[in-house]
Structure 1
């Protein structure tokens, strides 16, 4: 495999950190990006170059890409891994928080993508890998704003894939199911906090308790399944448009496609 110049966002922890490390070990020139550069210090020993980046800031996006181009002269792969989940009833979640989720999960991803595309078009090659979720193809209870961002990432990616095909650029979606990370606990805590004292409090607390139990259990998939799928997409000569992976992903997406809407709603409302 020839060495590639790769940018991985959200590289300060979790799956982004592991993805950057694995790709660098394979001999690629990897830039790991996050707002807190000090949290990526450990990546240096694997050959990853830490890069300060706030994807919600356009100037920061432009500066990061300009630095990579100045040093490497090209960029072959962008892994849009940065993102977060904030659960809560639609009525309870402040619109400022809803907009922040869109700024991070969609608009930041889109801004960074727009900044790398001119270079990939000039190369007539490149890969945009967007870490989405099975939650971009179905909705879990009390996660409306989060799922809205992931549905948007799916639509954005599908549209972009068709547009840039003529320039030799691939657009790939990674769609994890249940992955054993702190993500579920953080989302559950947001859900409980957002509902405090409101009309949805009783329901939200029950759902949050169920989420904590699920993520404390042993059924969730190891985060390495996401790392492996991302690395596979990077290295594939002809990557798949979608990698649906992890606990529950394939059966739930299939169930969502074939079951009547009210039946699927019932299942999701009682899943926790």
Structure 2
């Protein structure tokens, strides 16, 4: 029987590449995005089944999950990919922006997970793959809010993995470092809207320097490389708990074990050279 996957955030980048990667493996793919026009070609040209889905909307989540269960009778895998990065020093980011960040990056995956689990438990089979980030393991100055949202997602994923193990459901994290996608464009837009205090110009300069490098920055990976690990996590009988993708993500795994005093010195050096 053909397997069915629900993927959020398929408008571009990792989500779009993941939809195509599952299609290549002959899954039935439900590719979703807030704006249906963003995924129209995935349906018309590539063969996905598309749906409008805003992960912050309870009604959207219920409607899409019910539709898939009605049409397919099962959801074999949920890929929680939708998300964005709220950049900016902690002091400069208003609390409302923090709420918005967690609404999408944390509460969104929570909504989807709760919606698909009853059907997965009944079948005693299923996979949940949460797309996190290297900053979910290692907080980055100037990205504290985004790092915080991914830290929260990682903690919830670790707990969930052991809660549902007895039902034959696997749960994994995919943790990419920099990816060659338009993802940074929205992050820049979010940061540009901040009312800057004037106290953190060095961090803003650091991000300006990083963005000037553009696609193909050292250590970056393609969205297709990330998608490959997502499919592997969904397909494996015993998937890994974590899939760090790319050299930056693997380095973050190591650096996070350093004492705080040493990692703080690393960031001090980074500021010196920016």
Who is 1:202 aligned against? 201
Distance 2:264 2:188 in 1: 19
Who is 1:23 aligned against? 22
* Equivalent runs, 1:152-191 vs 2, <5 Å: 152-191=152-191
- In the TM superposition, what is the alpha-carbon distance from 1:118 to its structure 2 partner? 0.2
Compute the TM-score of the two structures, normalised by the length of structure 2: 0.93
Who is 1:74 aligned against? 74
- In the TM superposition, what is the alpha-carbon distance from 1:139 to its structure 2 partner? 0.9
Find out whether 1:142 has 2:135 as its counterpart: no
Given the superposition, is the C-alpha separation of residues 268 and 224 from structure 1 closer, same or farther in structure 2, using an over 3 Å criterion? farther
Who is 2:253 aligned against? 253
Task: Tell me the alpha carbon deviations over residues 148-169 of structure 1, each in whole angstroms, 9 at most, x when there is no partner.
Answer: 1000000000000010001000
Who is 2:210 aligned against? 211
Q: Number of aligned pairs?
A: 269
Contact 1:192 1:208 in 2 (8 A): no
Who is 1:35 aligned against? 34
Distance 2:142 2:195 in 1: 10
Distance 1:114 1:185 in 2: 31
Distance 2:160 2:204 in 1: 39
Distance 1:186 1:139 in 2: 19
Residue aligned with 1:208, SS: helix
- In the TM superposition, what is the alpha-carbon distance from 1:205 to its structure 2 partner? 2.6
Who is 2:111 aligned against? 111
Who is 2:62 aligned against? 62
Given the superposition, is the C-alpha separation of residues 117 and 141 from structure 1 closer, same or farther in structure 2, using an over 3 Å criterion? same
Distance 1:66 1:24 in 2: 22
Distance 2:40 2:96 in 1: 32
Residue aligned with 1:117, SS: helix
Residue aligned with 1:46, SS: coil
- In the TM superposition, what is the alpha-carbon distance from 1:36 to its structure 2 partner? 0.7
Residue aligned with 2:92, SS: coil
Q: Once superposed, what is the RMSD of the aligned Cα atoms?
A: 1.7
Compute the TM-score of the two structures, normalised by the length of structure 1: 0.93
Unmatched segments (≥5 aa) in structure 1 = none
Distance 1:187 1:200 in 2: 20
Who is 1:225 aligned against? 225
Residue aligned with 1:194, SS: coil
Distance 2:215 2:262 in 1: 27
Given the superposition, is the C-alpha separation of residues 269 and 48 from structure 1 closer, same or farther in structure 2, using an over 3 Å criterion? farther
- In the TM superposition, what is the alpha-carbon distance from 1:189 to its structure 2 partner? 4.7
Contact 1:88 1:192 in 2 (8 A): no
Residue aligned with 1:33, SS: strand
Contact 1:16 1:81 in 2 (8 A): yes
Distance 1:128 1:20 in 2: 15
Unmatched segments (≥5 aa) in structure 2 = none
